[in-house]
């Protein structure tokens, strides 16, 4: 009799448990989905470390980016995977390195080649897990294709861009390289800043955050700002923050490239951006630095408008905010302006996380990579892990800033050219085998190349072990900023490099 009673009780318990799992399990799962954090994914273009909290320039004013950092985690040693827009953004959205995809230049796009045409991108992974995904401004590289518009995000806002532009360039002096229509700087437009593309992108983002249905499902909202990409235009009030006579120029010691391999010139052989010698000779160095600072502050104000809208709706409590730039930019350092280098000024970028699961007011000097954003956001949002990603989640550092990273940061520009950035060192190896080594503890400006000093051989060996084992060849359709070796000759944009014609 006792056994019968016990069996009956056991059967009743199992029945209750099964019913509970059937009834309450889905409810709990649904609740978990509904409570998943939103993601606000904010990008800037060509922004180096000239941000207040990064102290890249003593005069820069970025109160909104700084306040975001104050309520989250700032990575002070974050680096791009490519010092160029398209390969950097492809790496971010696919979670794959340029040395894996073969996308090194401004073309092709990731849906145009076999290797990545079916890649599950960051927004696609969020959409597959119940998120509403929206994109406005420059998140992917410019010129979004119909295929991308069909599959990458569910909703699209304005594409953003460089508008408006004056009928004639403001800088009249012909450049020392390509007289590109976008390579220009100065006060424009003279009318209200609402005419500028970045302002309109911010306005669109504010409208999305004000939607009545914004809380119906978690959102992944990507907002891409163009500035401080050239042309360096913005209205007078932002230039007024930086009187030209007071501008502090970045340090660019004469002869800084004397101990740098000649091959370094090959990576930025012939570009629209002028050399330092040109901006000095034409009395434009101070003007360009001023314009860069002004456009940074204008962009920062647009970030502030979006953050204000997030807070006004009370969405900040359950939204992960991440701010990033696709790569850095030189303003005279190493005798150049522009990007396309493997030095600190071109690879180092702002990277800030804030929101649920992130330490408040913290900073990490551990090396971080932009392709780490994909696995990090997946983990923070509680989504199923995505296999095949080459980034490493930053969640351990977001919880405890000094948690050691498994590897340094790796940046690549065209096949065979890599730089490895650890917490202390930067090592560069070019495709011809030439090298550079810098000790950031003693030489943050990277002015003394230590690569040929025997006592640093072990440091070089350890850092070199992180260079990708294989470099994917240039993807079909590669063009723009492409360097390749053919039959023993180096070609830039398909033309043989003749070192005697170098513009310094």
Q: What is the pLDDT of residues 204-237, one digit of tens each?
A: 999 999 999 999 999 999 999 999 999 999 999 9
The Cα 158–Cα 224 span in angstroms is 10
Average pLDDT of 52-76? 98
What are the b/e assignments for 165-182, b being 16+ CB within 10 Å?
beeebbbeeebbbeeeee
**Taking a C-beta distance cutoff of 8 angstroms, is the pair 250, 331 a contact?**
yes
Query: What's the confidence (pLDDT) of residue 20?
Result: 46
**Taking a C-beta distance cutoff of 8 angstroms, is the pair 359, 399 a contact?**
yes
Catalytic residues: 85, 141
What strand order describes the sheet that includes 483-486?
Answer: 483-486, 489-492, 495-496
The Cα 37–Cα 219 span in angstroms is 8
Beta bridge partners, 211, equal: none
**Taking a C-beta distance cutoff of 8 angstroms, is the pair 148, 93 a contact?**
no
Average pLDDT, the chain: 94
Average pLDDT of 439-454? 98
Query: What's the confidence (pLDDT) of residue 453?
Result: 98
Query: What's the confidence (pLDDT) of residue 33?
Result: 58
**Taking a C-beta distance cutoff of 8 angstroms, is the pair 418, 467 a contact?**
yes
Is the pLDDT assigned to residue 18 strictly greater than 60? no
Higher-pLDDT residue of 26 and 157 is: 157
Question: What 3 state SS string does 402-422 have?
Answer: CCCCCCCEEEECCCCCEEEEC
CA distance from start to end of the chain? 99
Is the pLDDT assigned to residue 460 strictly greater than 80? yes
Average pLDDT of 449-465? 98
**Taking a C-beta distance cutoff of 8 angstroms, is the pair 428, 435 a contact?**
yes
What is the 8-class DSSP label of residue 161?
-
Average pLDDT of 188-203? 94
Average pLDDT of 52-63? 98
The CA-atom distances, in angstroms, between 80 and each of 100, 340, 387, 470, 474 are 15, 11, 21, 19, 19
Domain 33-501 has CATH 3.10.20.90: no
Q: What is the pLDDT of residues 462-474, one digit of tens each?
A: 999 999 999 999 9
Pairing verdict, β 185-187 and 232-234 = parallel
DSSP reduced 3-state for 44: strand
Give the H or E element holding residue 87: helix 85-94
Q: Percentage of residues in the chain with pLDDT exceeding 90?
A: 92
Q: Count Cβ atoms within 10 A of the Cβ of residue 7 and give its class: 0-12 exposed, 13-18 middle, 19 or more buried.
A: exposed
The Cα 480–Cα 346 span in angstroms is 18
Query: What's the confidence (pLDDT) of residue 34?
Result: 61
**458: Cβ contacts below 8 Å, ≥ 6 apart:** none
Number of H helices, E strands in the chain: 14, 22
232's tokens: 């360096």
pTM across the whole model: 0.93
Average pLDDT of 59-64? 98
DSSP reduced 3-state for 117: coil
Q: ∠ CA 169-171-177 to the nearest 5 degrees?
A: 95
- Any idea where the domains of the chain sit in the sequence? 33-501
**324: Cβ contacts below 8 Å, ≥ 6 apart:** 42, 43, 44, 78, 92, 349, 350, 351, 352, 370, 373
Q: Percentage of residues in the chain with pLDDT exceeding 70?
A: 93
Closest CA to 76 of 60, 54, 48: 54
Query: What's the confidence (pLDDT) of residue 230?
Result: 98
In 112-232, which residue ranges form alpha helices assigned H by DSSP?
122-128, 146-151, 197-209
Query: What's the confidence (pLDDT) of residue 42?
Result: 99
Instruction: Give 320's pLDDT tier (boundaries 50, 70, 90).
Output: very high
Beta bridge partners, 485, equal: 490
The Cα 107–Cα 104 span in angstroms is 8
The Cα 4–Cα 41 span in angstroms is 61
Instruction: Give 35's pLDDT tier (boundaries 50, 70, 90).
Output: confident
Query: What's the confidence (pLDDT) of residue 190?
Result: 85
The Cα 221–Cα 42 span in angstroms is 8
**5: Cβ contacts below 8 Å, ≥ 6 apart:** none
Is the pLDDT assigned to residue 399 strictly greater than 80? yes
The Cα 190–Cα 185 span in angstroms is 13
Q: Residue 151: CA atoms inside 13 Å, Cβ hemisphere, count?
A: 13
CB 107: neighbour CB atoms within 10 A?
A: 16
The Cα 39–Cα 262 span in angstroms is 44
**Taking a C-beta distance cutoff of 8 angstroms, is the pair 391, 125 a contact?**
no
Q: Count Cβ atoms within 10 A of the Cβ of residue 242 and give its class: 0-12 exposed, 13-18 middle, 19 or more buried.
A: buried
Instruction: Give 32's pLDDT tier (boundaries 50, 70, 90).
Output: low
Is the pLDDT assigned to residue 409 strictly greater than 80? yes
Query: Rg of the chain's alpha carbons, rounded to an integer?
Result: 25
Lowest mean pLDDT segment, chosen from 18-27, 123-132, 161-170, 420-429 = 18-27
**Taking a C-beta distance cutoff of 8 angstroms, is the pair 202, 305 a contact?**
yes
The label of the residue with tokens 């318990």 reads: 13
Lowest mean pLDDT segment, chosen from 158-172, 370-384, 427-441 = 158-172
Is the pLDDT assigned to residue 92 strictly greater than 50? yes
Q: What is the pLDDT of residues 353-379, one digit of tens each?
A: 999 999 999 999 999 999 999 999 999
């Amino acid at each position: 009799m006792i056994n019968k009673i016990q069996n009956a009780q056991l059967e009743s318990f199992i029945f209750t448990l099964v019913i509970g799992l059937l009834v309450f399990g889905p409810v709990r799962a649904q609740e978990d989905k509904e409570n998943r954090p939103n993601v606000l994914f904010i990008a800037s273009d060509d922004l180096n470390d000239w941000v207040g909290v990064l102290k890249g320039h003593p005069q820069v004013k970025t109160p909104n980016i700084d306040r975001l950092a104050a309520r989250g985690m700032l990575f002070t040693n974050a680096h791009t995977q490519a010092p160029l827009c398209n390969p950097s953004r492809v790496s971010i959205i696919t979670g794959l390195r340029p040395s894996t995809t073969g996308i090194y230049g401004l073309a092709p796009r990731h849906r145009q080649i076999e290797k990545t045409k079916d890649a599950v991108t960051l927004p696609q992974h969020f959409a597959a897990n119940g998120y509403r995904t929206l994109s406005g401004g420059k998140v992917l590289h410019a010129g979004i294709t119909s295929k991308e518009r069909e599959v990458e995000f569910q909703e699209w806002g304005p594409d953003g861009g460089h508008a408006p532009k004056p009928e004639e360039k403001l800088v009249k002096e012909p450049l020392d390289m390509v007289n590109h229509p976008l390579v220009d700087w100065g006060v424009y437009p003279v009318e209200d800043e609402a005419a500028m593309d970045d302002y309109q992108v911010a306005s669109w983002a504010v409208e999305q955050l004000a939607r009545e249905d914004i809380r119906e499902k978690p959102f992944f909202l990507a907002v891409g700002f163009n500035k401080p990409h050239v042309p360096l235009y913005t209205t007078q009030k932002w230039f007024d923050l930086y009187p030209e006579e007071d501008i502090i120029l970045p340090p660019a010691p004469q002869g800084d490239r004397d101990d740098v391999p000649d091959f370094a010139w090959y990576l930025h052989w012939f570009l629209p951006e002028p050399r330092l010698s040109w901006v000095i000779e034409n009395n434009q160095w101070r003007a360009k630095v001023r314009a860069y600072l002004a456009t940074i502050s204008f962009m920062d104000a647009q970030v502030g408008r979006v953050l204000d809208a997030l807070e006004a709706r009370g969405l900040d409590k359950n939204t992960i905010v991440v701010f990033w730039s696709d790569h850095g930019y030189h303003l005279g350092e190493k005798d150049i302006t522009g990007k396309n280098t493997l030095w600190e000024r071109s690879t180092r970028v702002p990277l800030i996380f804030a929101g649920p699961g992130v330490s408040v007011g913290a900073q990490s000097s551990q090396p971080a990579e932009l392709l780490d954003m994909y696995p990090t956001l997946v983990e923070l949002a509680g989504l199923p892990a995505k296999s095949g990603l080459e980034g490493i989640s930053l969640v351990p550092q977001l919880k405890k800033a000094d948690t050691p990273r498994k590897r340094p940061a790796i940046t690549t520009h065209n096949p065979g050219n890599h730089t490895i950035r650890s917490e202390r060192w930067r090592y560069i190896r070019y495709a011809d085998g030439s090298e550079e080594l810098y000790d950031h503890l003693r030489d943050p400006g990277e002015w003394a190349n230590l690569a040929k000093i025997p006592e640093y051989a072990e440091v070089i060996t350890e850092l070199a072990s992180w260079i990708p084992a294989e470099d994917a060849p240039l993807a079909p359709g590669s063009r723009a900023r492409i360097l390749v070796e053919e039959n023993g000759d180096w070609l830039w944009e398909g033309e043989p490099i003749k070192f005697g014609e170098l513009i310094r």
